[in-house]
Chain A
Amino acid sequence: MLTSGRYFLSGNVITAEAALLAGCRFYGGYPITPSSELMEHMSARIENEGGVFIQTEDEISAIAAVIGAAMTETPIVIVDVMRGGPSTGQVTVVSQGDVLQARFGSHGDYETIVLAPNSVQELFDLTIKAFNLSVMFRNPVILLSDAELAHMVEKVDVPEKIDIVGYNDYKIEGVPEFVPVGIGAKLAITGLTHNEKGYPVTTDVQVHRNLVTRIVNKIINNEPMISDVEIINPDAETIIVSYGISSRAAYPVLKKHKDVGLFRPRTLWPFPESKFKDIAKGKRIINVEMNLRGYGLEVERVGRKYGAKSFEFIKLIGGEVPRPSHIEEVL
């Protein structure tokens, strides 16, 4: 395990190491660029920590094995290392094209917690946070890394004390107590709509409503507790909204232009509405990201709700990472 101190490591490697520190002891995966080093590192390391590694026959099998190891209403962490899509797309090139898929990719009503680090240091910090949130809320948490961060090598400070949340440490409304298999609890687990005993009840309006509103509300009602943002110059007239690797273009701009501020969600979903509402009123919003229709849709929707003045969108695709000059052209 990494001890406290300063390291010089790549994003993929630090994500794996942080996961081990957070208590991750089961890894399932299937090789894919640009995430493969994460898997390679895990294959070498996790068994030394008493964990289990499996390279499965496909990605579906990998996620199913991870869910099987964790059981349902599932405390699992998924690392999505974004590359250029759609389809096989740009294999080795960065994008932020999965930002809506991470939230809306499945069918039916549900909520996901999605975290967006913008440095190798934050890959470490947010990997730990991802495991803690997944256990607190018994919900999948997606860590949205990308091809740049994954392969970037930067310094990382590993602190002396790392807080790890254990099962049932927190009592949160809508989050049932965690019960493992194999203790005689006779858990009935099913993907069908089920009642509180776990038995399938698929045609009762109220049973479905109770179940689905509970799993949705346990996340959205706790948005102020979950959401984590970086805010610089909140009183500035112009606010840059950006996340992940894109947001790094904003810092040099902020140094030069004192009348510009930054709103950077570390938690993309649930949308950090409680933090954005005080900032948006009367502001000129410049949204910077690497896709054509992504997080900006939600930024505009929530911004209008709280009286933002105007919206401009910098949309870069093809692997071009935003530079300060891209933002200054709009300013």
Chain B
Amino acid sequence: MEFFEFYRKDRWPHQFCPGCGLGTIMNAIYKAFNDLKMDINKTVFVSGIGCTGRVPGYINADSVHTTHGRALAYATGIKLARPDLNVIVISGDGDLFAIGGNHIIHAARRNIDIKVIAVNNATYGLTGGQLAPTTPYNMVTTTSPYGNREYPFALADLVAASGANYVARWTTAHPNQLVNSLKQAFTTRGFSFVEVISQCPVNFGRRNKMGDPVFHLRWIKEHSLPISKVSFDVKTPYDILDLNTKGIYIIGELVRRNRPVYGEILREEENATSIE
């Protein structure tokens, strides 16, 4: 499939700012989807509101741009009504984890067969760069002009703790690893979650001495630590979870497991009964 069979050429150029990480991510999604030769006519892309929420609208497939925060709730309905379809959610950190936070932990708990790509740019980009629940400590945004006095969520770890079958965190500075991880997510049964740390030079980096996308990407790279290199001299695993204690993003595969999948449990129970 050509790039412009996967994306809608009649909607080009896209609306994203120069230097935005979504270009890298859209390329990665295309590459993973194309390498796996997935059926675009049997795939529904779902999003909420925000910059990332606009991505499914550019994809040449059934796409559903829903209300703010509710992408996973709509996606749950689509998947349950049409279990034969692939359901892929692409949305941002504010949409999925602030207003939609309750939906994602429960979707992960059910382990429903939905794939989620969460683009974490640490801010509300579309509305102009406000404080998000992912903004690192002390960083400046339009609603934290003296520096953030809250601590951010570690998104991937939260989803892993909630029960997903596949959880990974990569960044826009690791495009090849991201593609491989997306392929793994798309082919894992159950709830799969890939967090992508992304740059927003225009509305976030600019206020934090990273207005140049190159600086922002470099900052992301310098603050990433592969999970294989994490030293376990910390007292509890929780010490490494978030940015505020060590100031780093742990990248790599966090979870790969085979818990029973929501919707398939019922059928398994029926089979078990018939064996008796």
Residues of A whose CB lies within 8 Å of any CB of B are 26, 28, 47, 52, 54, 56-58, 60-62, 64-72, 181-192, 199-200
Contacts and interface: CB of A to CB of B under 8 A. Distances in A.
A58 B106 CA distance: 10
Interface string B226-263: 00000000000000000000000000000000000000
A188 B60 CA distance: 8
Interface in B4-26: 8, 11
Given A60-B70, A61-B106, A199-B11, A188 B63 contact: yes
Given A64-B66, A182-B44, A189-B64, A57 B103 contact: yes
Interface stretch (B80-88, B119-127, B182-190): B80-88
A126 to B, nearest CB: 24
B56 to A, nearest CB: 9
Nearest to A65: B77
A61 B70 contact: yes
Nearest to B43: A182
B81 A26 contact: yes
A65 B66 CA distance: 11
Interface size classification for chain B: 20 to 34
A182 B80 contact: no
15 contacts: A26-B81, A54-B80, A57-B103, A61-B70, A64-B77, A68-B64, A69-B77, A69-B80, A181-B78, A183-B41, A186-B41, A187-B63, A188-B65, A191-B65, A199-B11
A264 B77 CA distance: 36
Nearest to B77: A68
Interface of B: 8, 11, 41-42, 44, 46, 57, 60-67, 70, 73-78, 80-82, 84-85, 102-103, 106, 266
Contacts of B73: 56, 60-62, 64-65, 68
Given A181-B85, A182-B84, A187 B78 contact: no
Given A64-B70, A67-B74, A199-B57, A182 B103 contact: no
Contact of B77 (A28, A47, A58, A185): A28
Contacts of B103: 57, 61
Q: Across chains A and B, which 3 residue pairs bring their CB atoms closest together, nearest first?
A: A68-B77, A64-B73, A65-B77
Nearest to A66: B77
A68 B42 CA distance: 16
Given A64-B66, A71-B78, A182-B62, 12 more contacts: A28-B77, A60-B70, A62-B73, A64-B74, A72-B64, A188-B57, A189-B65, A190-B57, A190-B65, A192-B65, A199-B11, A200-B65
A187 B67 CA distance: 17
Nearest to B83: A52
